[in-house]
Amino acid sequence: MVKIFSFFLFFIFSLKLYAIDTKAEQAVVIDFDTNEVLFEKNSNAKVIPASMTKIMTVYVAFDRIENTNFSILNECRVSPKAYKMGGSRTFLEIDDKVTVDDLLKGIIVQSGNDASIALAECLAGTEEDFAKLMNVYAERLGMANTNFINSSGWPDENHFSTVYDLAILSNALIKNFPDLYSYFEMKEFTYNEITQPNRNKLLYQVPGADGLKTGFTKKSGWGIAATAKRDKRRITIVINGTNSSRSRLNESINLINWAFNQTSQKTLVEEGQIIKNVDVWLGVEPHINLISSKKIISTLSFDQIQLMKSSIQYIKPISAPIISNKKYGELTISIDGKPDIIIPLVAEKNISKVNPFLKIIAAAKYLLFGTSLDEN
């Protein structure tokens, strides 16, 4: 017989959840550690990524630096194509040999289109071949709605992404290249005697902000992939389609602060935690603890925490022999706005069958008293 036990898990907090929205056309807010989407608005709509494209250009370079002999001290020649590129620039000179280190700074801090092309050509021979490489990485990372045509984000009808895909990319870069990621914290960079500030103004105005990349085209509006870390917790946001740089700044600040102030990481279940003590049928012990097979951490708003429900499902009684760590039931945690979390429940220890001569007595006791043997 299957038994289902339902109950409420209540946590009392003095703070109240405040609803969040944004003027951005597309937005996503993700908890870096749990990888949960805390807020989204048109997050899978195709957008023009503009200079947020450069996050992938840097990702490819970082991967080459980490996993090959390619070094930040290597020098790359500036081609006529790179030199003539319009838009934001690092002001590279044609035929100059520029270190990978300077090119990375030019891309990340100055959003240099010329630096992006120079690095792409240095790594793949041509920017076109580099774009193919970018798409290989995008596929590996699970960026299902992305296609890159160039390394800089220069507008092209076949060059697109989504804010969700860009968030996947941003988090992967932080996780996979923690040492190199410090490039994104730089607030200014001087090349060719021209000093330019980082276009990411969050670095100056938001506690814990340390990346990543802004973007703008007339057609797509103003966007940013941004992240901040406070008290060992990191939040990543990507927005696009705001109508000014001021609006981009305000909307990104609002979303970051909302995520830190109105959501929190909670351990729902510890690995090995006793969830239910249940009866054993014809075992040498009358009861067994069903325990959680894994630890579950989730990022929740305060009202989600207060209204969280859980239920336990298992077959009662559990027949001996019982094997330690074998699944005998499930714990389901239901949270408003999230898919149900299903956790296998396993036996805490082994319990063997009762002696054959005691089976009749044990069965009679279970039918009369609800337990197969006298409790010790």
Active site amino acids: 51, 54, 111
* Range list of β-strands (E), 231-348: 233-242, 263-269, 274-281, 287-292, 296-301, 309-315, 318-319, 327-334, 341-347
CB 258 within 8 A of CB 18: yes
DSSP string for residues in 81-105: HHHH--SS-----TT-EEEHHHHHH
Report how far apart, in Å, the C-alpha atoms of 14 and of each of 17, 71, 268 are: 10, 52, 19
CB 217 within 8 A of CB 242: no
Residues for the chain: how many in total? 376
C-alpha 77/C-alpha 61 separation (Å) is 16
C-alpha 367/C-alpha 361 separation (Å) is 10
**Pick from 297, 35, 20, 23: which is nearest to 170 by CA?**
35
Q: Before 212, cis peptide (omega within 30)?
A: yes
C-alpha 293/C-alpha 89 separation (Å) is 54
Q: For tokens 């995520």, what's the residue? A: 259
CB 48 within 8 A of CB 166: no
Strand partners, 242: 222
Tokens of 371: 């337990």
CB 159 within 8 A of CB 215: no
